[in-house]
Amino acid sequence: MQIMINGLPGNMSSLAAKTIAKKSSYKIVPFAFTGPEITAASTSIEGQEIALIKPDGKAIIDQIKKDYGGLTIVDFSHPSAVNKNIEFYCSKKINFVCGTTGVDMAAAQKKIADAGIIAVVAPNTGKQIVALLSMIQYAADNFPEAFKGYSLEIVESHQRGKADISGTARATVPYFNKLGLPIKDGDIKPLREPEEQKRLGVPESFLGGHAWHTYSLKSPDESVLISFTHNVNGRQIYADGVVDCLDFLNKKGSAGESGKMFSMMDVLKG
């Protein structure tokens, strides 16, 4: 598989590129789409020079497809651009992995089906964290309203540069609703200020890249407190998960699958 990594030179896309570059079964193409604000003409990944293409230069994708057969895209672009990017990948019939948050899932699923491609769309590619989410989903499906009457507080802390509320935290909302907790996306408390994060306990060396989440469930009389916590320092867990996603797509493509959007839970099961 030839891999095009879009979103370079961003932190997550750069780490994903470095991780993929170490896998002999994948080759990174020397082009990447980037944001309009990026001034650099290129970036280097493990000694390989990669040209950065602005949004107005996307027509080059036809030549890239021609020159690099078996092209698959990994997208870690900005949330404000991700839905247009997915529409573009579908229009060009290119399989992809998208780890960017802010995806319109219903629209993406329809476009992928119409294009006859396969894709993994996962706002969290950390498979261990997704495994925890699957446990919460299991509880929601099998024990509906088990926490009816309880209150829920969701606090998530990420680096200051994260543009939106955590997609992982938002993904838990429908599960907690099933469990009887009437919480909305807007009730999630995002922490982005370093001083707040240090008081929370985030190591100073990881203020620039972390994901700390706590879900606190409290009984009406406050005699019972149940908490779920997952604290991730750095981004390697997500980069490793991207490789799992590529392996999964490779397997599905070899089996002749088409027109399907997969989640990280599908990757775990597959």
Active-site residue set = 158, 162
Cβ contact 246:20 at 8 Å: yes
Residues 239 and 200: their CA atoms lie apart, in Å, by: 25
Q: List, as one string, the DSSP characters of 37-89.
A: T---SEEEETTEEEEEE-GGGGGGHHHHHHHSSSEEEEE---TTTHHHHHHHH
What is the distance between the alpha carbons of residues 12 and 94, in angstroms, rounded to a whole number?
Answer: 21
User: Do residues 113 and 121 lie in contact, with contact meaning Cβ atoms separated by under 8 Å?
Assistant: no
Whether 268 and 248 have beta carbons less than 8 Å apart is answered as no
| Whole-number Å distance between alpha carbons of 33 and 218 | 46
